[in-house]
Chains A and B, each alone.
Chain A
Amino acid sequence: MSGTSTYVPKSAFARWFESRLPIVGLVHSSFIAYPTPRNLNYFWTFGAILTFMLAAQIVTGVVLAMHYVPNATMAFDSVDHIMRNVNYGWLMRYLHSNGASMFFFAVYFHMFRGIYYGSYKAPREVLWILGVIIYLLMMATAFMGYVLPWGMMSLAGATVITNLFTAIPLVGVSIAHWLWGGFAVGNPTLNRFFALHYLLPFMIVGVVVLHVWALHVAGQNNPDGVEVKNVERDTVAFTPYATIKDVFGLSVFLIVYAWFTFFIPLYLLDPDNSNMANPLVTPSHIVPEWYLLPFYAILRAIPDKLAGVIALFAAIALLAFLPWLDTSPVKSAKYRPLYRFFFWIFVVCCVGLGYLGSQEVSDRGTLVSRILAVGYFGFLLIVLPLLGLIEKTKPIPASIADAVLVKAAPAE
């Protein structure tokens, strides 16, 4: 989607530079003149919030890496050293550990918004798949970061997640030994996880660039799910409209982030992780970080090891196929009453699985997990394809401008 205005360099230097590297013009057309649908709501500010969080995690992470020691005998103490001795080390660590949670908090809003408003549908399939790839990279990065403090939970988490690969027939155990660099999670594992934890965020940056690129080719979806037809009528310029809205959304978000960081910095951490890793003991109740709990519950809901691991990975991989699982031509749930109903059931399934994943194994919990897991897969594999065939959708507005004007009409 091309902008309505193009960059005109004002000074002689700007003209000289632009003709050699047109980067100012690129930024101008992408983030200043770029036309955004005029009906975007606050759920559309999470893209900017996520960009901020990625930058914040990289900055605090690079700082922490200057004091942290990726060695099994020293890692735990070096985190203590950061907390007690390094100037503002406590702040950097709490910003980083809570930042990971806030990052996922924002990405879940971003993803559910995409699902609610059908943002994955044509022509945004590639954009959506790039998003799923970012989500996968985020999970890998967060998981490896959780291992670095080398507490009891770090070790237990690393053990359970890497053991998922032992479910693969024949080569599974060899793959696990390869990942560990030994016969159990140990110093070689910690060392390589540190290297990868430093690398992956920059890979995320790369995919984010592609994600934004793909977004700017297709243009943003919007709450009404109709494409921009008339740039003059349907859109407003990115700056100042979207920029200011993003800044406000981000500011509110930062209040929550700061609340966690300064008032309840350990709320989301497991107390067991305050004990140094011991490979001869597993804590009595192990749980992953909250953002991975729904998938953990799916894993536990299935009594067979290989099937459980397949279900866990399928639960994530299926998201990439959403554009083709959903057969309805109407994008926004605003005009899809049945879809809206099932969407909220899907949300309940996800949150419910998350809660059950945090609880200890019990017969009742396993039963409910199974029901919710059926709900999760049922939504993706049965409800979405069927709804497109049977649902009677409400009439969609002819254009974004019409949708906005209808809303304003009662005043006239």
Chain B
Amino acid sequence: MFRAHVSRERRGGKPPQAFNVHAKAFASGPGPAGNGSGVRLSTLAIESPNRRDFLFLATGAVGAVGAAAVVWPLIDQINPDASTLALSSVEVDTGAIAEGQIVTVKWRGGPVFIRHRTKKEIDEAVNTPLSELKDPQTDQERAPKPEWLIVVGVCTHLGCVPLGHEGPYDGWKCPCHGSIYDTSGRIRSGPAPLNLAVPEYAFLSDTKVKIG
């Protein structure tokens, strides 16, 4: 409040008299300052920034940093923890997956589809013109080894698990809101905005793949 008066006077918006009344009231407290006149005090106060301003700002800044330092752990504690992050890869034997079969494995708490595609399914995926796609991506980018399509089994709309060998493209169909994916896991119709995600994976041998 005291500071507000000072700045107002500096802008010249208010006659100095009003300020003096306030300053007098301030100065009339006990102690040696009580002897000073209002005019003198006001001259003192406008020597700004003064020590009080500095202390006020510095204390506030330290307080803000301190509060942020406490708030961040409170926010961050619900992020995925170390044990969750540690479980981020899985190895799968692909030798047992027959042609045409889709196997669902659990990776990072959710499903991953490993699809051993037939010749027909590969051809359909490869021959789809990119202009027909909502999220254009070639089949080659998504499945470097064409017979193996590995995608995260989570619909990119709201996270349901799509059903395999369903829908007009015989790819996937999401039971929740009707998104349709083709045999490359690319979004073809429905509310989902993106293709089924391709996780990071590597074939360790001809029959072993490491996901994550």
Contacts and interface: CB of A to CB of B under 8 A. Distances in A.
Interface of A: 156, 159-160, 162-164, 166, 177-186, 188, 192, 279-286, 300, 302-306, 308, 361
A304 B192 CA distance: 7
Given A177-B80, A279-B111, A163 B158 contact: yes
Contacts of B191: 300, 302-305, 308
Contacts of A300: 177, 191
Contacts of B160: 156, 159-160, 282, 286
Interface stretch (B16-24, B53-61, B101-109): B101-109
Given A166-B159, A279-B111, A305-B191, A183 B84 contact: yes
B162 to A, nearest CB: 8
B84 A188 contact: yes
Contact of A180 (B80, B157, B174): B80
Nearest to A307: B191
A282 B161 contact: yes
A182 B108 contact: yes
A179 B174 CA distance: 23
B158 A160 contact: yes
Contacts of A302: 191
Given A184-B159, A188-B81, 20 more contacts: A156-B176, A159-B159, A162-B159, A178-B78, A181-B79, A181-B84, A182-B80, A182-B108, A183-B80, A183-B84, A184-B110, A188-B78, A279-B106, A280-B106, A280-B110, A282-B162, A282-B174, A286-B176, A300-B191, A361-B177
A370 B94 CA distance: 45
Interface string B122-161: 0000000000000000000000000000000110111111
B178 interface: yes
B109 A186 contact: yes
Contacts of B104: 280
Nearest to A363: B178
A285 B108 contact: no
A163 B78 CA distance: 17
B167 interface: no
Contacts of B162: 282
A181 B76 CA distance: 10
Given A160-B176, A284-B175, A305 B78 contact: no
B159 to A, nearest CB: 4
Contact of B175 (A184, A185, A286): A286
Contacts of A282: 160-162, 174-176
24 contacts: A156-B160, A159-B159, A163-B158, A163-B159, A166-B159, A177-B80, A179-B78, A181-B80, A183-B84, A183-B109, A184-B109, A184-B154, A186-B84, A186-B109, A279-B106, A279-B109, A280-B110, A280-B111, A280-B153, A280-B161, A303-B190, A305-B157, A305-B158, A361-B178
Contacts of A163: 157-159
Contacts of B154: 184
Between B81, B106, B110, the greatest number of chain A beta carbons within 10 A of the residue's beta carbon is seen for: B110
Nearest to B178: A361
A179 B156 CA distance: 17
